[in-house]
Chains A and B, each alone.
Chain A
Amino acid sequence: MDITLPNLQSGFTEFLRDPSNTPMPEGVPAERMRVYQDLVFRNIRTPLASNFPVLAQIASDTGDWDALARGFIRDHRAQTPHFPLLAAEFLEYLEELSHNPDNPDAQILLRYPFA
């Protein structure tokens, strides 16, 4: 039987949220999936870096900034339809993270106490 629409869509977004731990949707070329992966990651990472320039700068050499952006996409569910309010969603994510010491990314936050 064909896969239902909700399953096709959730398989797709689950992969985009966490590409390293999710199977790639069936029948889709890896190169084309990577286009979406990059679009989503860059579209979120770039504006966040201009909203949080200090954190982005000092945390980028260690890879921590990418890990936070990746964690945000994977673990946070942004509710605002207004893209310019992405920064507020990111702050919410950092707050969630600070209450969740079991998440390995919470360790990253400890290195940047001002965040």
Chain B
Amino acid sequence: MQLFRSSARKLDSYGGAFRRPFRCRRGANTHGLSLNLGGQAPLDTRLITQIRAFLERHNACYFSEHLSYCADDGHLYDLLPLPFTTQAVEHVSDRIKTVQDLLGQPIAVENVSYYCAPGQQMPEIDFLLSVLEKADCLLLDVNNVYVNSINHKYNPIEFLQQLPSQRIAYGHVAGHYQEHEELLVDTHGSDVIDPVRKLLAKTYEIHGVFPTLLERDFNIPSLGQLEQELQRILRAQQRINKNGRKERASRAFAEADATVSSTG
């Protein structure tokens, strides 16, 4: 027990082993899982204060979280589906704005994979657009768009076309697990499949290039294989930049980049 208490203390100062500021050529971006943006429990202001201190210490540019909830009166550590209702739009937008005030900077929210839509009053796209209208930036996960388009039978390109380019701050791409033809589960445990790769290229075509993170949490292959995957993403970005038809969606980043994460 002592061991865990002492690691809890370390996490209190947030950053754990990384007490010294990161030295990054291109600035670090951070991504959260536990803010429970759409939940009913009061926002965890202690956690937000820790995140703010972390961002300042490491000079990190961005913080992003999920358009989801992960707790009731205790954490469940999973991304649960926010009901697509007007009440939920108001609720989660207000909480995003509060987080932005407490952090002193805008955050990007990520569209999540959802497997069912309890209490649904509007399509996913209307829900997402309403939240973006009120609370700003999108972290666009292209694999999640693909997974949702199969699971809920919609056209992913039509979905992407409706998104406002200027609000896309950042992107994610990942592999998923196919339970059967009509049910995909977002696991980050396998290679990006070809249709998702094509959808990412299509997204760049529609919205311009944005910095993109390759996510991989399980069954992690060799660095060489990951590097190949990154190269594919970079090539898709370069094709668009070369054509020069689109302005970049986000100017906040010095250089469009592809990076890899193993933390979700």
Contact = CB atoms under 8 A, between A and B. Distances in A.
Interface of A: 2-6, 8-14, 16-17, 25-29, 31-33, 35-36, 39-40, 43-44, 73, 76-88, 91
A43 B77 contact: yes
Interface of B: 1, 4-5, 7-8, 11, 33-36, 38-40, 44, 47, 69, 71-78, 80-81, 83, 85, 87-88, 91, 115-121, 151, 179, 183, 185
Counting from the closest, the 9 A-B pairs by CB-CB distance are A77-B74, A81-B34, A88-B4, A32-B116, A13-B72, A35-B115, A8-B119, A32-B115, A5-B87
B135 to A, nearest CB: 16
Contact of B116 (A6, A17, A28, A81): A28
A3 B121 CA distance: 11
A12 B4 contact: no
Given A31-B183, A43-B77, A9 B8 contact: no
A26 B118 CA distance: 7
B185 A82 contact: no
Contacts of B119: 2-3, 5, 8, 27
B185 A36 contact: no
A22 B135 CA distance: 35
Contacts of B88: 5
B74 A81 contact: no
Contacts, number: 110
A43 B118 contact: no
A35 B35 contact: no
B116 A88 contact: no
A77 B71 CA distance: 9
Nearest to B80: A12
A16 B76 contact: yes
Given A12-B118, A85-B4, A2 B74 contact: no
Contact of A39 (B78, B85, B87): B78
A88 B5 contact: yes
Given A29-B116, A81-B34, A10 B72 contact: yes
Given A5-B119, A88-B1, A88-B4, 7 more contacts: A5-B87, A8-B85, A12-B118, A27-B119, A76-B74, A82-B34, A85-B11
Residue of B5, B39, B75, B117 most packed against chain A (CB within 10 A): B75
24 contacts: A2-B85, A5-B85, A5-B87, A9-B40, A9-B80, A9-B83, A11-B118, A13-B76, A13-B80, A14-B72, A28-B118, A29-B116, A32-B116, A32-B151, A36-B78, A36-B80, A36-B115, A36-B116, A39-B185, A40-B77, A43-B78, A44-B77, A84-B7, A85-B11
Nearest to A16: B76
Contacts of A13: 71-72, 76, 80
A35 B183 contact: yes
Given A5-B85, A81-B75, A91 B80 contact: no
A25 B75 contact: no
Contacts of A16: 76, 80
B152 to A, nearest CB: 10
Given A8-B119, A36-B78, A81 B8 contact: no
B47 A81 contact: yes
Given A13-B72, A81-B44, A82-B11, A8 B83 contact: yes
B78 A40 contact: yes
Contacts of B183: 31-32, 35
Given A2-B121, A31-B183, A78 B72 contact: no
B118 A25 contact: yes
